[in-house]
Amino acid sequence: MKPVTVLMLVAFPLYCYAGSGCSFLEEVIAKAANASVSTTEYRASLEEFINDENTANAVDKLKQCFLNQSVETLSNFNVMMEIIYNSIFCEPF
């Protein structure tokens, strides 16, 4: 068990270095910030995680928040996400 733990601790920084460490998370964020993706499309992409009407409403409100933003704000948000993904805190030590 110890070698598996050591392997995971060594592999994690390399995995993190490739972005957020979760391509699905990156895709969900990109769709949220994409003005051409409708609320209905966004909800459909997250359908497997929506268990009730409250969650569906929360997903719709989240997407609507992004739809209400200007193109400049969405662009700045995407730049911020790239900075976070490429930050020194995700680089291997």
pLDDT confidence of residue 59: 93
Count up the domains in the chain and report the number.
1
pLDDT confidence of residue 83: 84
Read off the pTM: 0.67
Note the pLDDT tens digit of each residue in 34-52: 999 999 999 999 999 999 9
Domain that holds residue 16: 2-90
Q: How many residues does the chain have?
A: 93
21: left (phi over 0), alpha (psi -120 to 50) or beta: left
In tens digits, what is the pLDDT along the chain, a chain of 93 residues? 444 444 444 444 444 445 556 788 888 989 999 999 999 999 999 999 999 999 999 999 999 999 999 999 999 998 988 888 777 665 554
Task: Tell me the C-alpha distance between 43 and 60, whole Å.
Answer: 7
